[in-house]
Amino acid sequence: MRFLIIFVLLSLTVTTAYSSNDNIPESAQKEILRIYPSEKITFHKYYAIGDLNTDGIDDLITIIDYKKDNQNFQRLVVLAGANDEKYHFSSQSAPWYEFFRRSISLEIKKSSIFISGRGSTNNTYFGTTYQFRKYDNIFIMIGVASESGTINSDDKRMDSINLLNGKTVTVFIDNGKREELIGKLSNSYKVILEEFSFDNEFEFK
């Protein structure tokens, strides 16, 4: 069974379980500007905070926009919290081209990063969520969940992949009937956050 994850998504919004009407904290902004001193950075108003390494201190993730070589890019940045209430660079994704028809959401829970992409056409919707967790100071993709369906209909398909044990679950709902298929990946995969980009296609089989 193959799972091909492709993004063609809608306008950018960054949301989180942590609700804030404030801009990204000043200490986080300063750290990001230190990392990218030559880039013109645009910060998003919303971001996600939570404990990613179980040290009892909140960490922070956000999407930044920046321009390089006359091209507009975006990427995920991870900042580790510290006792001095400052943030320090921890990790980042690979960059992707900024696309105005792309919707992204961020969340931190269960000591994991969840980054989701969603979109729609005239009569269909689709979305995929990637889960990353830190192992030996490296954020590794451990799960993928996707959903697609028809707007104004209960018909849909849901796929989930556990990259730790290879288990796959596919659920089809068609005219009120539910069918569930359970399988296992034939290969093992290790995708680190630094390799992740919305410009990439991920195929798991």
Q: Could you tell me the residue ranges of all domains in the chain?
A: 3-197
Q: Has this prediction a pTM greater than 0.75?
A: yes
Across the chain, what does the average pLDDT equal? 86
- Per-residue pLDDT averaged across 121-130, rounded? 90
Q: Buried (b) or exposed (e) across 106-136, using 16+ Cβ within 10 A?
A: bbbeeebbbbbbbbbeeeeebbbbbbbbbee
Residue 205: the pLDDT is 80
The answer on pLDDT for 125 being more than 70 is yes
The answer on pLDDT for 14 being more than 80 is no
State the Cα angle at 156 between 153 and 157, rounded to 5°: 175
Query: Percent of the chain, pLDDT > 90?
Result: 60
Residue 101: the pLDDT is 58
Q: Look at 112 and 2; give whichever has higher pLDDT.
A: 112
Q: What does the CA dihedral 68, 70, 74, 80 come to, rounded to 10 degrees? A: 20
Residue 100: the pLDDT is 57
pLDDT tier at 122, thresholds 50, 70, 90: confident
Residue 37: the pLDDT is 84
- Per-residue pLDDT averaged across 160-181, rounded? 95
Residue 158: the pLDDT is 96
Query: Percent of the chain, pLDDT > 70?
Result: 87
